[in-house]
């Protein structure tokens, strides 16, 4: 099992706001205008899942655990590689928090070296994007 972690990102909103937004994937609609156009055509989502196309094929992540207000955990329903992704949120004050994205992937040995860098970059990009979302509820 390979593990990839983002750097810790500061978020200018309370932990509960961040959790409320990220634990309900239908909230993606609120930030749809911030998603690059080329990613929108294959993006589908509902309350518990999100699906996208990746260079390796379609990927569907489903929420499998909500630990309010500190963590949302996802697992792949459909993916070329089994993965678990979780977003951890911690308060830094009453009005700010921080988050970190972690990905564990069951990579075959022959794929490890090939996808390590794209997965590291992907986890960091996800964390950066999550840190910039407006979490006004």
Per-residue pLDDT of 19-35, as tens digits, reads 999 999 988 777 777 66
Query: From residue 78, how far is each of 17, 75, 99, 109 by CA, in Å?
Result: 29, 9, 26, 20
- pLDDT of 34 reads 66
- pLDDT of 57 reads 77
Q: Where are the beta strands (DSSP E) in 46-113?
A: 49-54, 57-67, 71-78, 83-91, 97-105
pLDDT tens track for 88-125: 999 999 999 999 999 999 888 877 778 888 889 989 98
How many other C-beta atoms are found inside a 10 Å radius of the C-beta of residue 21? 21
Give the pLDDT band (50/70/90) at residue 10. Answer: very high
Give the pLDDT band (50/70/90) at residue 41. Answer: low
pLDDT, averaged across the chain: 88
* 79: nearest Cα among 53, 45, 101: 53
What is the rounded distance in angstroms from the CA atom of residue 50 to the CA atom of residue 61? 5
Q: Where are the beta strands (DSSP E) in 92-135?
A: 97-105
């Amino acid at each position: 099992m390979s593990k990839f972690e983002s750097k810790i990102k500061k978020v200018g909103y309370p932990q509960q706001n961040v959790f409320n937004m990220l634990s309900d994937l239908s909230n993606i609609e609120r930030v749809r205008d911030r998603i690059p156009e080329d990613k929108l055509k294959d993006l589908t989502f509902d309350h518990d899942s999100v699906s996208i196309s990746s260079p390796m094929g379609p990927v569907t992540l489903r929420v499998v655990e909500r630990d309010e207000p500190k963590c949302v955990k996802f697992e792949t329903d459909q993916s070329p590689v089994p993965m678990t992704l979780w977003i951890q949120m911690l308060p830094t004050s009453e009005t700010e928090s921080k988050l970190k994205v972690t990905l564990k992937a069951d990579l075959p040995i022959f794929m490890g070296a090939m996808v390590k860098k794209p997965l590291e970059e992907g986890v960091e990009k996800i964390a950066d994007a999550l840190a910039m979302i407006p979490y006004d509820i």
